[in-house]
Structure 1
């Protein structure tokens, strides 16, 4: 959502969404309406998917493919822009996970071309949104970029998503469920109609994930699994579209962004770090506001995380040997002036954030900070 004193511009949804089992082949007709010389951006695994054979079988399409690593960084985008010119591409197709799709969207934005997103997992809502994250070549979050529009076409092919490791959908559940905990604290008291709608959709999303995630993971490809994939890829994007940045990210994503600057966390997926960030955000609410509802919500989430396999501690993220100095560095980055953490209704310092990060799973009877020196990671 962008706004000035008189107007608000909403970027709610892609122009078209095609979803279903083996949805890619019939969706080619919609790709042809966008262009005939696609540059397909993807990773090694994604570009080898058998379902892509249908694209190369169409004589009307003159296809070029290219990898996107290092993930969504400026050097990669520079290289891809050269490929766009060389191929004379008239449409960009991204097929892969969140960083791949962010790369494709940002490439299309910079080249002023239409973009098609084809998610290969349920790990994020990147296929839907008018937003892309920029990372360093080392994988550290640098900034996000608001795009001019949502993708022109999203193809959610369940037969493609079903080939992804189950861990990716678990991560997507962590990323999606954050919408409730972040939107409710940043916008839960709003009287604006669309913000109210976004927050309530976030509540619906949370409830769907609580009710269906375990069954979905137990039966990949089944009805519950498809509903959860719809929730993580599509409904999560709807919430950010309706509510804008205010309903998109708060402290949970800020914690993710800070943690990406610690190399030890790079083995953890985006949604896994965000899921941990939700626990940290609730801990902050508990410590700094004395909010016992936040404490109850945190313990409810711990049970849910244990059931489906989301990380609960720094050690679960690969940071069992992290030092307080390293955590303080990550927390300082998470608390920068332009950070989404400042959408919280109270001020957070790096020291307070570190205290919350190391105490998310500790049950305490008081709501004040325990000195960092007394904490064990």
Structure 2
């Protein structure tokens, strides 16, 4: 039996938040809205107003808790169970979206995701990334609701800091490098091979239009390039994960991301920014030539993605040998690393990070 997940309807347009009742009403009369603090400060008033005009009942907007952790997921469950909602809405970035997708799984309720930044594909995937309450990675959870509807208000994405879009580019670049690596261990079929080819297309699109999309945000203009990159990050990238499944989901780049969360400094760096450095490390672990890695770094410099540990606030000169060993051990223990087509040792991780960092400094 072959089971393939795909997200529900994807709708992108300017001003969607002010018309949200048209899209929510078919799901039921009782609504809960969750999100990050910043996102709720932007969208809760227009959402509440429009839902009220459609005669829908809702609790006051609820902050998701700050981390996609089991504690926060169950805290939200306790807050809304008595209300017996018909549908869950969540606005924000990846951790908020993942938290409420996990809540939707627990409560067996439809989930509508409203990404307010284009920084990950979390709005369109059927997994949640779990952390502890301090922000250190724990696991990839399949106990997560597949979104029934994705609403992307382009105006809100446009008004968000450009750094979020750049982070989304970093996270989405990884689809190509990771899917072609992890798929080497799989039996080829229409879905996983199709996912890899789609990842290749998205990679080429990012190289072609990523810089101009970022410039569009600086100019405050919704351009074709910006729309393309938003769709690629949120929807197309999500479908690469959904279609490829475990055959070509995440690999070395995301494992390095998770490993680097042992450093408190990394908690101030966005997910896709760290993943971008993880791509360089994965290429180093694969034994790719310097020229290939430097080509990727050259693109990073165009769009302002990190290419050294220092770019992420991590001072390599102050990392003790014990910390290096911990970093290597933690990283190889991450589920993503098992998707690499060869066995990765802690020393390979350490050497890969050091080589990536050195090449980043060479390019600078």
Mark yes or no: TM-score above 0.5: yes
SS in 1 for 2:32: strand
SS in 1 for 2:129: strand
Instruction: Work out the CA distance in 2 between the residues paired with 1:83 and 1:92.
Output: 13
Task: Map 1:1-377 onto structure 2 (within 5 A).
Answer: 7-11=1-5, 13-50=6-43, 52-59=45-52, 60-64=55-59, 65-147=61-143, 149-187=145-183, 191-220=188-217, 221-286=222-287, 291-292=288-289, 295-320=290-315, 321-336=318-333, 339-362=335-358
Instruction: Work out the CA distance in 1 between the residues paired with 2:230 and 2:346.
Output: 35
CA contact (8 A) 1:25 1:55 kept: no
Out of 258-267 and 116-125, give the one that drifted further: 258-267
CA contact (8 A) 1:252 1:276 kept: yes
Out of 132-141 and 346-355, give the one that drifted further: 346-355
What's the CA shift for 1:226? 1.4
Change in CA separation of 1:99 and 1:50 when aligned onto 2, cut-off 3 Å: closer
SS in 2 for 1:359: helix
Change in CA separation of 1:207 and 1:52 when aligned onto 2, cut-off 3 Å: farther
What's the CA shift for 1:271? 0.4
Change in CA separation of 1:101 and 1:143 when aligned onto 2, cut-off 3 Å: same
What's the CA shift for 1:314? 1.0
Q: What number of residue pairs does the alignment pair up?
A: 350
Change in CA separation of 1:353 and 1:204 when aligned onto 2, cut-off 3 Å: same
Structure 2 residues not aligned, in runs of 5+: none
Structure 1 residues not aligned, in runs of 5+: 1-6, 365-377
What's the CA shift for 1:78? 1.8
**Which ranges of 4 or more aligned residues in structure 1 deviate by more than 4 Å?**
none
SS in 2 for 1:69: coil
Instruction: Work out the CA distance in 1 between the residues paired with 2:162 and 2:35.
Output: 20
SS in 1 for 2:133: coil
TM-score by length of 1: 0.88
What's the CA shift for 1:86? 3.5
Instruction: Work out the CA distance in 2 between the residues paired with 1:188 and 1:228.
Output: 27
